[in-house]
Amino acid sequence: MLVDFLKGSALALKHMGNFIIGKGNVTLEYPEVKREQPAFFRGRHRLQRYRDGLERCVGCSLCAAVCPSEAIYLEAAENTDENQVSAGERYAEIYQIHLLRCIFCGFCEEACPENAIVMGASYELAMNKRTDFIAEKDDMLDPAEKGFGDYHEYDPYISHVTPESDKSAKGDPWAVKAEH
């Protein structure tokens, strides 16, 4: 009994000591300090760009088709010589994700052939209005100056993507076939 008491007291003193020197704190001064998430974390979506600034999304709708919550709505439009938005023939003119429907399963990310949609690190989802939970394309799209590069370090699913694989993804597959 005395031994248990001493063990318990020692544990309490240890935690008190750690608290005093600030070691092992599990609380953060949120929102000033945000918790770092592991690489596999599935937070708010991001739409990525190629290094040259072109959008990766080609408006194919595979992400919307695979989404079990029917949370994605998009409308595609044709790229033109005057208005080249993405690396493909088409781009997503409208791209919305309903965050109240989304279950953050990551299927959209896995289905995307262009590594365009990825689950990011942000976990902040507090809004004042229901309509604010509809994330628009501009809410998710990487800024134009953030092309392929350091910005992608965080994403495990695209760590295999290199500038070389970007080049072949953007190449015309029929042209490659004709060469052989």
Residues found near ligand SF4 in the complex (CB under 6 A): 57-63, 67-69, 71-72, 74, 92, 97, 102-108, 111-112, 114, 116-117
CA distance 70 to 17: 51
Nearer to ligand SF4, 28 or 94 (CB): 94
Least distance from ligand SF4 to the Cβ atom of residue 69, Å: 4
Q: How far is the CB of 41 from ligand SF4 (least distance, A)?
A: 12
- Look at strands 72-78 and 45-47 and give their pairing: unpaired
The residues facing 98 across adjacent strands are 134
CB of 19 to ligand SF4, least distance (A): 39
Q: End-to-end alpha-carbon separation of the chain, Å?
A: 83
Q: Which is nearer to ligand SF4, 22 or 173 (CB)?
A: 173
Minimum gap (Å) between residue 137 Cβ and ligand SF4:
10
Q: Give 14 or 136: the residue with its C-beta nearer to ligand SF4.
A: 136
- The residue assigned the tokens 């604010």 is 132
Under a CB-based contact definition with an 8 Å cutoff, are residues 47 and 137 in contact?
yes
Partners of 76 in beta bridges: 92
Cβ-based nearer residue to ligand SF4, 89 or 144: 89
For residue 111, the minimal CB distance to ligand SF4 (Å) is: 6
Q: Please give the helix or strand (H or E) that residue 77 lies within, else none.
A: strand 72-78
Instruction: Indicate the residue among 74 and 178 with the shorter CB distance to ligand SF4.
Output: 74
Can you tell me the distance from the alpha carbon of 5 to that of 19, in angstroms, rounded to the nearest whole number?
21
